[in-house]
Chains A and B, each alone.
Chain A
Amino acid sequence: MESPNEAATASPARTIEPGLKRMILIELIFPTALLVLGIYHGLMQVLYRAGHIHTRKVLGLEYYQGLTLHGVVNAIVFTTFFAVAFGYAVIRFYLGRANMKVAWLSFGLMIVGTLLAAAAILSGTSSVLYTFYPPLRAHPAFYIGLTLVVVGSWIAFFNWLPPYFVWKRDHRGEKVPLAVVGIFAAFIVWIIATIPVAIEIIFQLIPWSMGWVATVNVPLARMLFWFFGHPLVYFCLLPTYVMYYTMLPKVSGGKLFSDFAGRLTFMWLILYSAPVGIHHQFTEPGISSTWKFVHAFFTMLVAVPSFATAFVMAASMELGARERGGRGLISWWKKLPYLDTNRWLFGYFFCGLVIFILGGVTGVINASYNLDTVVHNTSWLPAHFHQTVAGPVFLSYIGMTLFLIAKLTGKEIKLPRLNVWMPYIWTLGILIFSGGLYIAGATGEPRRTNMGLTYSNPQSPLYHADWQTGRMLGSVGGTIMAIAALIFFIVFFATLFSRSTKAGTLELVVSEPYHDEQVRAVQSFTPWLAGAALLLVIAYTPPIAQTLRSNFPGARAFTPDRPTPISTSRP
């Protein structure tokens, strides 16, 4: 009998240098271990909010501290580490070797940065949530730690440029492999996104948190943050799209319906993922409604490649299903390898896509200008972004983490039957969880609030009975998600600690295109980069000028636990 996932998704294997292998393994295992902590706090969130807990803290960790940890670990640390590790795997697999000294430097910065930020959060001095809006002030180690993680990831990207140019020189006239285009798009978006937030952190927040300057320009800081905050999700999403375009068709048993659509999607996201940040600031003062409208329009355009991807993936899966004997207009859906342990990655990809249909549509709702006033900062928002980041992104990342680790160490997936069910249990959980949050959010239930103390506490004069259904669904769904995550961790660690059965190799699933055409426009980054730069200048120059020109009084620093500014609070 052939080993799981071998026969169906056989892919070319590459030998891999021991140093690179060790680094990729640590870059995958370290954030997955941290994820245990991040997901624990996700579960605690729903329990507090549903009113199962009526206290400020549990096991010494306070609600908002746990929420900070949940956001930073899950949305920033786990995603960045995975993107770098996966990027190294893709570059080594398709192009060639990168410089290992530089690689270890980037690795070291990211690890040190994560530990610094984690220490700052765990010490209780940085409960500012992962958006760290000033003038709530975190410990300087929090800002410095996050900066190091980002700088480390930049270095990884620059380290991939030499093998890229060498490959281009040796393969003149050939198309760059689709996966490489996607990874480069991800990191180009990441560079565009992180420059403004680096400016915010280095020039505004660090000097202010150290006490070198007294006040901070909050409207400017918020604009720079959201200049980063939205492309951040596309940085998370792009490695997922790489897996969808290059692996899902093969795992389904078919071919990629359109290589061109993949390339267009990646280029389109470079162009439009950043000039959209103000759609997070629709209800804010200090930004004119004209520029809010412009950003709303660009947001609609950035949705196009995601909708196109949904069609292309459905078409690719249909090719696979028909190859496997599927018939009819609809009934071919029955022929997909939903619970096939030899093609276990299918569930991780397919479930993410299903969740993303809802996440994508609600994203368009949120960005639809005035509709945002109904849902802004309500629990509708976490319902939406859990269906993107905790849907396709999370499932594909953990699936690929398990896949890469098994291949690199030459191990078999342990508990394969449990493993194939995991994504479906997660999907059930997230649909119930988000359903509850959508319902309560549409009637104004606030997000990021320890509701167990007031709005979910029947003893409190602020108790809201009308949010009870939503809250209960939220906690049931959240608990199911936690159970699914627990199943994943059991499979992950059981596999990790099992014996190797063969030599470790670097393998990726590679799908063939159904048909191959040369479309010149999507084969070079240059025009798209130029377009992105132009759009950014158009979309951000006037609003940033507004925040600089107006005479806003600066804001002094506050810690979350007392209503007086820091400098005067302690004699």
Chain B
Amino acid sequence: MTPALKLERRILILSTAFVVVLFGLAAMAINLFHVGLPTCLTDIKPFQKGELITHSPTHYEVHYVARMWEFDPEEVVVPVGSTVDMYVSTPDVTHGLILLGTNLNLMVVPGVVNYARVKFDQPRTYQLLCHEYCGTGHERMAANLRVVDAETFAARKAAPAPQKETSEIAKLLEAKDCMTCHSIDGSEGIGPALKGIYGRKTKLSDGSTVVADGVYLREAIVNPSARVVADFDDVMPKPELTEEEVNALVEYLENLK
């Protein structure tokens, strides 16, 4: 055998040994630290409703529904030391779920339920994000999981957090999915922010300008494609609303400063 061929053989052996050692380390880690990957679950039908189920004071089950563009439930609170079984499903497109600060990292694929178990030993607020592109609202799809100490958890149970004040109009905005694209706190969304919209000089997509008065707002609600605000796409569906509901919405917008 020529010296060069000997060297070549050594190169090959070195390369193979290098990757085999790397893989061996990975395999060892799986056994040592009990960190596996999500596997095939076919016995669970995709669910439509997000909820927190208590099995015991230290064992919980969360059903997350990931949909365009929110997680349901938006906030989950569990006590320190809990083991949480997380199930996640989607009614629309592919999403992701990463729980920052942990190794929980799941794909959410239409038609299949994904699962992982996490144990929480530290009181801390964890953020979970969608990490798979799921449409134009993807970048704001996030939720919280709060791990609190036992006293806080008990106190919270005794006196449930005050319900968010829900007016008729807030219910309507929620029911018609307005808030998916429009915000009432001034933050940017798929559609124009609603805060302070009344009376504003607004540039339209055809280049003209309009003062957003009651007439314009009514038209924008009833027939969204008629005059679209500049820099926004004509994607709003015509909502199904009664005359009273339209009146209530216009009045609400006039006072939303």
Contact = CB atoms under 8 A, between A and B. Distances in A.
Interface of A: 54-57, 62, 64, 124, 129, 133, 135-136, 217-219, 222, 257-258, 260-261, 264, 281-289, 292, 296-297, 300-301, 303-305, 307-308, 311-312, 315, 364, 368-374, 376-378, 443-444, 446-451, 453-455, 459-460, 462, 514-515, 517, 546, 550-555, 558-565, 569-571
Nearest to A563: B68
A368 B22 contact: yes
Contacts of A560: 134-136
A284 B38 contact: yes
Contacts of B68: 558, 562-563
A307 B19 contact: yes
Interface string B179-217: 010000001101000000000000000000000000000
A371 B131 contact: no
A261 B8 contact: yes
A462 B37 contact: no
Interface stretch (B73-81, B112-120, B148-156, B247-255): B112-120
Given A303-B19, A515-B4, A562-B237, A370 B136 contact: no
Given A292-B37, A376-B105, A455-B139, A565 B114 contact: no
Contact of B93 (A55, A136, A369, A444): A136
Nearest to A289: B39
Interface in B97-153: 98, 100-101, 103-107, 109-115, 129-140, 142
B135 to A, nearest CB: 4
B244 interface: no
A286 B2 contact: no
A449 B142 CA distance: 12
B5 interface: yes
B156 to A, nearest CB: 22
Contacts of B238: 571
B174 interface: no
A565 B135 CA distance: 12
B187 A517 contact: no
Nearest to A459: B187
Contact of B139 (A312, A369, A370, A450): A450
Nearest to A555: B110
Q: For the complex, would chain B's binding face be called helix, strand, loop or mixed by DSSP majority?
A: loop
Contacts of A292: 37, 39
B63 interface: no
Interface of B: 2, 4-5, 7-8, 11-12, 14-16, 18-20, 22-23, 25-27, 29-30, 35-42, 46, 67-69, 92-94, 96, 98, 100-101, 103-107, 109-115, 129-140, 142, 177, 180, 187-188, 190, 231, 233, 235, 237-238
A514 B4 CA distance: 9
Nearest to A447: B131
Given A135-B92, A222-B109, A462-B140, 12 more contacts: A56-B231, A135-B94, A218-B110, A283-B114, A292-B37, A368-B22, A376-B105, A450-B138, A555-B93, A558-B135, A560-B134, A561-B190
A57 B230 CA distance: 12
23 contacts: A56-B188, A56-B231, A64-B138, A133-B132, A257-B8, A258-B4, A261-B8, A261-B11, A289-B40, A292-B39, A303-B19, A307-B14, A307-B18, A369-B30, A376-B107, A377-B105, A377-B131, A451-B139, A515-B2, A515-B4, A555-B110, A563-B67, A563-B137
A321 to B, nearest CB: 17
B111 A260 contact: no
B30 A300 contact: no
A286 B112 contact: yes
Contacts of A304: 12, 15-16, 19
A217 B110 CA distance: 9
A454 B138 CA distance: 10
Given A292-B37, A370-B35, A373-B103, A285 B113 contact: yes
Contact of B42 (A136, A286, A562): A286
A288 B93 contact: no
A446 B12 CA distance: 37
Contacts of B12: 261, 264, 304, 308
B19 A364 contact: yes
Nearest to A462: B142
A444 B14 CA distance: 34
Given A303-B19, A449-B133, A370 B37 contact: yes
A553 B190 contact: no
B76 to A, nearest CB: 17
Contacts of A514: 4
A56 B26 CA distance: 41
A308 B39 contact: no
B174 to A, nearest CB: 13
A561 B135 contact: yes
Contacts of A451: 139
A64 B114 contact: no
B5 A517 contact: yes
A502 B190 CA distance: 57
B131 A289 contact: no
A307 B4 CA distance: 18
A373 B104 CA distance: 7
A419 B112 CA distance: 52
